[in-house]
Amino acid sequence: MTIKVKIPTPLRSLTQDQGLVSISATNVESAINELEKQFPGIKERVCEEDGSLRRFVNIYINGEDIRFLDDLQSSIKDNDEISIVPAVAGGTIEI
């Protein structure tokens, strides 16, 4: 199955500056493993040592947060789009 993965700017140095890559995978975990094969070093930026998703990284399948699906076991199908989104924190808001 061919899916598209949106790569955030902080990870593009690992993907030769590609913002969108195509891979074959059946679930999010296999997608991360395939990304690691093609772009070594990306998995350690997205996952903890035990393989779980890092706390400040969000992954979406067609706009749906995988934490509300089956997390890393969330199924993906042909032509789905995965977005890797690092959480943004900090700053102040003045009213």
Whether residue 35 contacts residue 83, with contact meaning beta carbons closer than 8 Å, is answered with: no
* Helix (H), strand (E) at residue 30: helix 28-38
DSSP class of residue 85 equals E
Whether the full predicted model's pTM is greater than 0.95, yes or no, is no
**pLDDT tens digits, 29-82:** 999 999 999 999 999 999 999 999 999 999 999 999 999 999 999 999 999 999
CATH 3.10.20.30 fits 2-86, yes or no: yes
In the chain, where are the structural domains located? 2-86
Distance CA 13, CA 21 (A): 13
Whether residue 5 contacts residue 20, with contact meaning beta carbons closer than 8 Å, is answered with: yes
